[in-house]
């Protein structure tokens, strides 16, 4: 009776306490009779019946009136039910989700009803599916998966359910990766490498990621792709997929100098200016410095260029920096003159947005560090699909957190315009 103790008994008690349903209520009486006559064999039916009761009562609260009750204060009417399948600790069940319709003439203020239990369940199922996916990725056997689920109180997980959960997760993630996009004012691109076993050979594959800054200043994970390399064709396919999904209005692309990205960006977003990440530029400059003494000061000197009040002053400071290093470090001076201007595009944008736009840290820290933390223990993925599955599941959670947050990464465009 563990499932009943964990799931049904608290829900029945809640119905009795909250809605005044006593033990002689027909709905609860029928539920208890079902359990009495059939025991644990009827657990799935009992779970569905209890959840149906809770959802119907919640609909009554939402509408401000019981079924068939005459009330001038009701906010809408009951409108039947729609079936929905759920994977629960008692197995797969079909529940009847209550529907509503507005009171004639009050459609503008009507709020459609959806049970809170299913909203919470969607999140919980995603967490379980992500766990199953992670275990699958690491080569955990079905028997071990069932053992882990048993420890969580999910004793009825079968091999078919594990396979179904993985397939459902893949479908959900595929839909998320292909969801429609809209206006994206700032586009941040990045890549990292993971090891994948393909055809019996371990290969390094690129995980391409894209984050967008929307007109209201919030961040959104736009997409992810797993490619054999950072070659132009792969970056171009990735950018083409974002455009095909409706991405428009891009005013700035921010990234490091990834192989193949420059040509792909020019082909897909030819009129969009590019801001090369200043953080990576400074690190690259240090690697080009010929002596330890130059390494120590080149970062501070570039910081003075980055922090100039305007583009003209930044250009002047860069010219002075090149002149200083030209006599003793001509190769460094040449590198500075060719590469540093690519990090000054940000001066064409509002001062209130420059600090966040001059690097790609908006994607590096929350995304790349989390991907690294979750993938480093795996070391070698069995295939590219498993890598894409795990990375996509992590990015969905990051994106959900961003969408739920009231904080904005940048001031909204209309605020800057004012």
Q: Which of 137, 216, 75 is nearest to 389 (CA)?
A: 137
Q: Do 286 and 271 lie in a common domain? A: no
Q: Of the candidates 46, 78, 107, which is a domain's last residue?
A: 107
Q: Phi then psi for 77, rounded to 5 degrees?
A: -120, 150
> Is 170 a member of any domain?
yes
Dihedral sign, Cα of residue 15, residue 18, residue 23, residue 27: negative
- Alpha carbons 66 and 107: distance in angstroms, whole number: 20
- Alpha carbons 285 and 298: distance in angstroms, whole number: 7
> Is 268 a member of any domain?
yes
Q: Do 302 and 344 lie in a common domain? A: yes
Q: What is the CATH number of the domain that holds 247?
A: 3.30.420
pLDDT of residue 155: 55
Please, are residues 265 and 253 in contact by the beta-carbon 8 Å criterion?
A: yes
Q: Which residues contact 133 (CB under 8 A, 6 or more apart)?
A: 166, 169, 389, 390, 393
Please, are residues 207 and 371 in contact by the beta-carbon 8 Å criterion?
A: yes
> Is 369 a member of any domain?
no
Residues in the chain where the model's pLDDT stays below 70: 1-43, 87-91, 106-109, 119-165, 413-418
Q: Of the candidates 107, 139, 157, which is a domain's last residue?
A: 107
- Alpha carbons 298 and 333: distance in angstroms, whole number: 11
Q: Do 271 and 390 lie in a common domain? A: yes
Q: Do 246 and 384 lie in a common domain? A: yes
Q: Do 407 and 263 lie in a common domain? A: yes
- Alpha carbons 359 and 281: distance in angstroms, whole number: 9
Write 404-411 long-range contacts (CB < 8 A, 24+). Answer: 405/218, 408/216, 408/217, 408/218, 409/213, 409/217, 409/218, 409/219, 409/356, 409/362, 410/186, 410/213, 410/217, 410/352, 410/353, 410/356, 410/357, 411/217, 411/350, 411/352, 411/353
> Is 355 a member of any domain?
yes
Q: Do 103 and 6 lie in a common domain? A: yes
Please, are residues 192 and 213 in contact by the beta-carbon 8 Å criterion?
A: no
- Alpha carbons 7 and 3: distance in angstroms, whole number: 6
The string of pLDDT tens digits covering residues 257-277 is 988 999 999 999 999 999 999
> Is 119 a member of any domain?
no
Structural domain of 144: 124-177
Q: Do 203 and 187 lie in a common domain? A: yes
Q: Do 243 and 283 lie in a common domain? A: no
Q: Do 268 and 386 lie in a common domain? A: yes
Q: Do 263 and 390 lie in a common domain? A: yes
Q: Do 240 and 196 lie in a common domain? A: yes
Tally of structural domains, the chain: 4
pLDDT of residue 110: 78
109-138: burial string, b at 16+ Cβ within 10 Å, e else:
eeeebbbebeeeeeeebbebbbbbbbbbbe
Q: Which residues contact 296 (CB under 8 A, 6 or more apart)?
A: none
> Is 116 a member of any domain?
no
Q: Do 265 and 286 lie in a common domain? A: no
pLDDT of residue 412: 76
């Amino acid at each position: 009776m563990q499932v009943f103790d964990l799931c049904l008994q608290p829900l029945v008690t809640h119905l009795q306490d909250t809605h005044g349903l006593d033990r002689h209520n027909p709905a609860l009486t029928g539920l208890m009779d079902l359990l009495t006559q059939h025991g644990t064999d009827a657990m799935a039916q009992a779970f569905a019946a209890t959840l149906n009761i809770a959802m119907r009562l919640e609909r009554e609260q939402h509408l401000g009136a019981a079924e068939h009750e005459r009330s001038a204060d009701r906010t809408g009417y009951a409108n039947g039910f729609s079936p929905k399948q759920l994977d629960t600790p008692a197995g797969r069940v079909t529940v009847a989700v209550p529907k509503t319709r507005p009171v004639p003439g009050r459609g503008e203020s009507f709020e459609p009803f959806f049970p809170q239990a299913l909203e919470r369940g969607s999140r919980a199922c995603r967490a379980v599916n992500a766990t199953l996916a992670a275990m699958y990725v690491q080569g955990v056997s079905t028997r071990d998966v069932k053992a882990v689920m048993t420890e969580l109180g999910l004793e009825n997980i079968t091999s078919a359910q594990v396979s179904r959960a993985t397939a459902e997760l893949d479908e959900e993630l595929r839909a998320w990766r292909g969801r429609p996009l809209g206006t994206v004012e700032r586009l941040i691109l990045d890549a990292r490498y993971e090891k994948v076993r393909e055809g019996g050979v371990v290969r390094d594959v690129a995980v391409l990621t894209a984050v967008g800054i929307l007109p209201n200043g919030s961040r959104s994970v736009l997409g992810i792709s797993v490619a054999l390399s950072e070659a132009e064709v792969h970056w171009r396919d990735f950018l083409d997929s974002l455009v095909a999904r409706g991405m428009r209005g891009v005013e700035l692309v921010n990234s490091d100098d990834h192989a193949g990205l420059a040509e792909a960006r020019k082909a897909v977003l030819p009129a969009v200016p590019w801001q090369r990440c200043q953080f990576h530029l400074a690190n690259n400059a240090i690697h080009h410095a010929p002596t330890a003494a130059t390494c120590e000061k080149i970062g501070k000197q570039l910081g003075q260029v980055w922090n100039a009040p305007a583009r003209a002053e930044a250009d002047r400071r860069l010219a002075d920096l090149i002149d200083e290093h030209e006599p003793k470090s001509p190769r460094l001076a040449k590198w500075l003159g060719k590469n540093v201007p690519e990090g000054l595009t940000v001066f064409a944008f509002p001062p209130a947005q420059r600090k966040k736009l001059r690097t790609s840290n908006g994607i590096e820290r929350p995304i790349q560090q989390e991907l690294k933390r979750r993938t480093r223990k795996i070391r070698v993925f069995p295939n590219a699909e498993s890598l894409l599955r795990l990375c996509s599941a992590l990015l969905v959670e990051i994106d959900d957190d961003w969408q739920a947050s009231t904080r904005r990464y940048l001031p909204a465009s209309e605020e800057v315009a004012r």
